[in-house]
Structure 1
């Protein structure tokens, strides 16, 4: 079977989850999306889909032990998390819960207010990559 050279329409936008605080300090899940543009990003390799490139402050890795529970807390910084291994659950102050599995991505944008609850679920540690993002408006 020959490989397809067509670019699926689904690559024109990528969507990710986000936790944010509203004006009353309640945290909620939301969504944000990034437009993708086909670019010659790594010549001489063929072009592929690329989003805008945002500034980052720093990056690192987190290893969270089995059974760890973070009672309601604001995010310590505005950051993207990328779950590499294990499973975690996040609960916003409005009561909504979402489980993350390896490959999941979430922007923690609730640096004020009531925050969110997070915990490791399942029987394994959770390994995450994180990227600190600048505070909006700075």
Structure 2
């Protein structure tokens, strides 16, 4: 059985801004270890060390991402505003692939109770 895991991309626009793009990772049932039932699995390429982040405040000025990376939300809720004015909220279990490494970037704001926790997974390539 093949399923899809939806995620959001934040990409740089031609005018130096940013916007969201909806995307999916194909999930395929696969046995990952002997004696373990098949699980839905998708590949996500990584280029370097994963960073764990905990912050009591996640409010920012407009900024480009420091590198292309997956942001995997673990705890708390953030709201990201791209330069075209679109806002999306991300909470535990949500995936965002941040690609706007130059230009005006985006704004990140913490929503609700802190702390906010996430994994930052640097990537290469155009999407995953």
**TM-score > 0.5 by shorter chain:** yes
Per-residue CA shift, 1:12-67, capped at 9, x if unaligned? 2222111111222120011121222222221222222222352431101111223x
Deviates more, 1:113-122 or 1:31-40: 31-40
What is the TM-score with the length of structure 1 in the denominator?
0.81
Structure 1 pair 76–51 and aligned structure 2 pair: CA distance change class (3 A): same
Structure 1: unaligned runs, 5 residues or longer: 1-6
- Name the Cα RMSD after superposition: 2.0
Aligned pairs, number = 127
TM-score by length of 2: 0.86
Q: Deviations over 1:61-89 (max 9, x none)?
A: 111223x4211110011111111112211
Q: Are 2:45 and 1:48 equivalent residues in the alignment? A: no
Large movers: runs of 4+ above 6 Å: none
Larger radius of gyration, structure 1 or 2?
1
Deviation at 1:107, TM superposition (A): 1.1
Write the distance in 1 (CA, Å) between the matches of 2:46 and 2:93: 22
Long gaps (5+) in structure 2 = none
